[in-house]
Amino acid sequence: MSVDRLLPTEEATELVALVREIAQAELTTRAAADEAAGRFPRDALALLGEAGLLGLPYPEEYGGAGQPYEVYLQALEEVAAAWMAVGVGVSVHVMASYAMAAFGTPEQRARYLPEMIGGRMLGAYALSEAQAGSDISAMTTRAKRADHGYELNGAKAWTTHGSYADFYTTFARTGDDPRGGVSCFHVPGHAPGLTFGSPEHKMGLNASPTTALYFDAVSIADRQRIGDEGQGARIALSSLDSGRLGIAACATGLAQAALDLAADYAKEREQFGRPIAEFQGLRFLLADMAAAVDSARATYLMAARKRDAGRPFSRDAAVAKLIASDVAMKVTTDAVQVLGGYGYTKDFPAERYMREAKVTQIFEGTNQIQRLVIGRQLLK
């Protein structure tokens, strides 16, 4: 079912329609097989890069498309509806590029951004550690001063695109202050001393590799530090605000796919001599699912429009991520129920949607963290 979208320009309408066409033609047909095999679809991400999606919200002067965030997120939603792992991959890459785009010097942006956002490279975001997830102050990975710039030692956990990325936006401790002692670095994927753990065995998103990173005396030049020393926590939190909107859009796309599957099945499945869609109880369930998806979309669009207007949006991003991920979990669970026994089998994608939805309540800050952010903003 095509979503009735309200986009700011005719160009944006055509762009989102093109992304939908590519996603439906190139992603939906292979998602189930690649997920079952745990194959990373680097070629699919490269295809989207060629179409301009990896740089959609970034300036044209550096190879981006210069589109508002509300347009980028609606295009991202279409990708996630076709294949969640690819949608998450795009979201992670765009978030990994944010630090350079927003905090890099003009020289750094000219040097690095064209390849980062032009579709030829794939990025990863290395913030979390085994004992330091949402608690940045607990970070132990350290970048100490050396003759050439910095020497990076430590480990990162839960890194999407680990071992596949061309660059890692990495946060490391350069001082002892819990928050003010963290800095941000652009680390090439081929850097000597950078190694990777085995891929995590996950409930879902099996085509999206998640690994640990290990830094053993990795040399980092001064020009690869993004922002000032000690500015890393600010960069990380700012990146996460935008990244949470990406996850909200992905979660909404996943929920939309589950709703479409359930509605189509209900029109075809017959019981007691008529389609089950004619039973009022099921119609009410589908109506609640549709209302929830529409609500999730509205929350991320509100946050995106504030971001595009240059207004504070941290609280709105937390609300969007919280609402959209909870909706994804609820709607995918309901879709399994609508399909009944078939929903519990791998003959239909409903069970995969349900498994994929769960992680949206966890990454880019758990939903408990989102509630802390919202509560803190309310009580300022």
CA distance 360 to 139: 23
- The residue assigned the tokens 């890069």 is 49
User: Burial letters for 54-81: b for 16+ Cβ neighbours within 10 Å, e otherwise?
Assistant: bbbbbeeebbbbebbbbbbbbbbbbbbb
148 residue type, one letter = H
CA distance 313 to 310: 9
Q: Which residues are CB-contacts of 170 (< 8 A; sequence separation ≥ 6)?
A: 126, 141, 152, 156, 184, 185, 186, 187, 213, 215
342 residue type, one letter = Y
CA distance 162 to 168: 9
- Taking alpha carbons only, the member of 261, 279, 285 closest to residue 349 is 261
- Annotated active-site residue 229? The verdict is no
Residue 142: count of CB within 10 angstroms of its CB = 16
H-helix segments, the chain:
10-26, 31-37, 42-50, 69-82, 84-103, 106-117, 232-268, 280-308, 314-339, 350-360, 367-378
> Which residues is 101 bridged to in the sheet?
none
Q: Do the Cβ atoms of 207 and 35 come closer than 8 Å?
A: yes
Name the region of 351 (left: φ>0; alpha: ψ -120 to 50; beta: rest).
alpha
Q: Say how many Å lie between the first and final Cα of the chain, rounded.
A: 42
Residue 291: count of CB within 10 angstroms of its CB = 11
CA distance 224 to 222: 5
Residue 290: count of CB within 10 angstroms of its CB = 18
Q: Do the Cβ atoms of 31 and 293 come closer than 8 Å?
A: no
Annotated active-site residue in 26, 77, 351, 364: 364
CA distance 328 to 362: 12
Catalytic residue numbers? 364
